[in-house]
């Protein structure tokens, strides 16, 4: 069996001290070493097929160089770009992400948080949180740095990366009003999560100021961000006998379900009912009709979340809250009412 190549082997091959090799191969300390020496060390390590011993590094530094990332639904298309942004940021500093998926189960989130902490992760980035979240409180109690992304909890001590939810709803409503719509139904997201609560609150507030009929019978709250819930919610609105010319949805998956259910009832989008979404998830420009939606910065929020987590690991004590801009993307799922 071939002997494992060690740091000492690389040092002997180059003719330097093992600590120099360690610093040269660490992105955070590489700048302390002469670039020519770094190049020689890198070439030698590649030639010898050297792989750092993560366990030894962890024992020596009390860091694992891993960050746990937990999402509520890995099948949701907004999360892969976000995870790419996190990984790109972490890799620049020699860190790696470990991914967990909850499927919207808060007990599963707590299990994952506990498992990641027990394995010595250096921080947590959570896209799975509810506004009140025991798992986050447990992580804080353990001293683990926590960043929430895409959602936030009702605790200002926890750093977060979110979007301008109020602005996004305002822009979508203003667009519908400009097309002549006054009876706008709203398919809201789950109220236990910040995106669901904040988008519904913004709809009610801006709807009144813009002259839209904000009636209880025109709002239905989804139990999950899914196509199936979008179908269920629009069927409920129709069963109530609600009269509306447009449907705003709290995310794109709900909108996709709404359009599908309308089609089964021979109601055309946008000829009969205009529909808007939220997030601009990949592929909504390819469905029929292409979806008018509020675009969030999926990759950028991953970059920001990764940067916040690294800053906290390096000792930044004060929480920070990053709020990213949004924009309305107008496609073919909305149209003006006939005059």
DSSP per-residue string spanning 102-134: -TT-HHHHHHHHHHHHHTT-SEEEESS--SS-H
**pLDDT over 60 (residue 56):** no
Tell me what pLDDT residue 60 has: 53
Model confidence pLDDT, tens digit, residues 89-139: 999 998 999 999 999 999 999 999 999 999 999 999 999 999 999 999 999
Domain architecture of the chain: domains with CATH = 7-52 (1.10.260), 65-162+298-324 (3.40.50.2300), 165-296 (3.40.50.2300)
pTM: 0.84
Tell me what pLDDT residue 38 has: 87
Rounded Cα distance between 127 and 78, Å, is 11
Neighbours of 8 (CB within 10 A): 11
Contact between 299 and 85 (Cβ < 8 Å): yes
**pLDDT over 70 (residue 55):** no
Tell me what pLDDT residue 245 has: 98
Tell me what pLDDT residue 2 has: 56
Tell me what pLDDT residue 59 has: 45
**pLDDT over 70 (residue 142):** yes
Q: Which residue did the predictor score with more confidence, 218 or 339?
A: 218
**pLDDT over 80 (residue 16):** yes
Tell me what pLDDT residue 62 has: 53
**pLDDT over 90 (residue 41):** no
Tell me what pLDDT residue 53 has: 59
Distances (CA, A) of 326 to 40, 65, 82, 302: 46, 32, 15, 15
Distances (CA, A) of 59 to 107, 234, 292: 31, 55, 52
Rounded Cα distance between 201 and 190, Å, is 12
Phi and psi based region of residue 238 (left: phi greater than 0; alpha: psi -120 to 50; beta: remaining):
alpha
Tell me what pLDDT residue 66 has: 95
Sheet holding 292-295, edge to edge: 219-221, 184-188, 246-249, 274-279, 292-295, 327-329
Neighbours of 157 (CB within 10 A): 11
Give, as one character, the DSSP assignment of residue 161: E
């Amino acid at each position: 069996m071939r002997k494992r190549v060690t740091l000492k082997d690389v040092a002997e091959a180059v003719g330097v001290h093992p600590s120099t090799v360690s610093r040269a191969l660490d992105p955070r300390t590489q700048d302390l070493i002469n670039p020519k020496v770094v190049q020689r060390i890198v070439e030698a390590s590649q030639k010898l097929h050297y792989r750092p011993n993560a366990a030894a590094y962890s024992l020596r530094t009390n860091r694992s160089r891993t960050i746990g990332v937990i999402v509520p639904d890995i099948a949701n298309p907004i999360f892969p770009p976000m995870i790419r942004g996190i990984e790109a940021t972490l890799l620049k500093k020699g860190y790696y992400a470990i991914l967990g998926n909850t499927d919207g189960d808060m007990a599963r989130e707590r299990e994952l948080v506990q498992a990641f902490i027990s394995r010595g992760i250096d921080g947590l980035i959570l896209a799975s949180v509810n506004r009140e979240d025991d798992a986050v409180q447990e992580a804080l109690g353990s001293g683990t740095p926590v960043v929430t992304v895409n959602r936030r909890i009702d605790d200002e001590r926890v750093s977060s990366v979110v979007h301008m939810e109020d602005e996004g709803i305002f822009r979508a409503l203003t667009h519908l009003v400009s097309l002549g719509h006054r009876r706008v139904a709203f398919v809201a997201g789950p109220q236990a999560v910040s995106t669901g609560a904040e988008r519904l609150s913004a709809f009610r507030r801006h709807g009144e100021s813009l002259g839209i009929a904000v009636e209880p019978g025109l709002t239905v709250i989804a139990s999950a961000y899914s196509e199936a819930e979008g179908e269920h919610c629009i069927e409920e609105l129709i069963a109530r006998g609600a009269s509306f010319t447009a449907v705003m949805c709290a995310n794109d998956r709900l909108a996709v379900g709404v359009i599908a259910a309308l089609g089964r009832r021979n109601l055309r989008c946008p000829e009969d009912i205009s529909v808007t979404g939220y997030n601009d998830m990949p592929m909504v420009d390819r469905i029929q009709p292409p979806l008018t939606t509020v675009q969030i910065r999926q990759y950028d929020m991953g970059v920001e979340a990764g940067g916040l987590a690294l800053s906290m690991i390096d000792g930044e004590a004060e929480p920070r809250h990053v709020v990213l801009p949004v924009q309305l993307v107008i496609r073919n799922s909305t149209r003006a009412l006939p005059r």
